[in-house]
Amino acid sequence: MTAMLPPPFAALEPFAPTWCLATESERWRRRHVSTMADLSAFYDAVFPRLEEAIEFCNQFPLDDLPPDVTNLLQLIHSLVMVSMAVEIFGQPKTIDAADAVLDRVREPMP
């Protein structure tokens, strides 16, 4: 299988197929079909590498990221997506939000 992420982040490859997602709606959906164990495993693996990963992406022009760096940036966006669930809520769903919905219908890429 070819690597999705830049070589220094090879240890995060197991999470790449699940969490390298281009849009917020895909990341939101993934968070909500995951268990807390899934979210914590992802968070615990990526969070210690977050600063390094941001710094790595930052070396490239944002409008011309190589494909593996785009994947790494998407992985960081996914960490952002799960951070509230893991750090604050202790559940995938926004706490006290009942069945409220808010769809992101437009966003900058990547």
Partner 1 sequence: MSRFPRPFEGTWTEHYPELGTDPVTYDDSISPEFYELERRAIFKRAWLNVGRVEQLAKPGSYFTKEVAVTNASIVVVRDREGEVRAFHNVCRHRGNKLVWNDFPREETEGVARQFVCKYHGWRYGLDGALNHVQQESEFFDLDKSCYGLVPVHCEVWAGFIFVNFAHQPEQSLREFLGPMITALEGYPFGRMTERFAYRTEVHANWKLFVDAFAEFYHAPVLHAKQSRERYAAAGQKLGFEAPYYRIDGPHRLVSTAGVRNWEMGDDAVKRSEVLTRGGLFGPWDKPDLGKMPPGVNPGRCDPWGLDSFQLFPNFVILIWSQGWYLTYHYWPTSYNTHTFDGNVYFLPARTARERIAHEMTAVTFKEFALQDGNTLEATQLSLETRAVDRFHLNDQEVLLRHLHKVVGDWVDEYSFANEGQP
Where does this chain bind partner 1 (CB under 8 A)? 24, 47, 50-51, 54, 57-58, 60, 62, 65, 73, 76-77, 79-81, 83-84, 87-89, 94-108, 110
Q: Which is nearer to partner 1, 3 or 88 (CB)?
A: 88
Q: Report the chain's terminal Cα–Cα distance, integer Å.
A: 24
Shortest distance, position 51 Cβ to partner 1, whole Å: 5
- The helix-helix angle for 24-33 and 67-84 (nearest 10°) equals 50
Q: Which is nearer to partner 1, 4 or 72 (CB)?
A: 72
Q: Which residues of 5-42 are buried (b: 16+ CB within 10 A; e: fewer)?
A: bbeebeebeebbeebbbeebeebbebbeebeeebbeeb
Q: Which is nearer to partner 1, 1 or 101 (CB)?
A: 101
Shortest distance, position 12 Cβ to partner 1, whole Å: 16
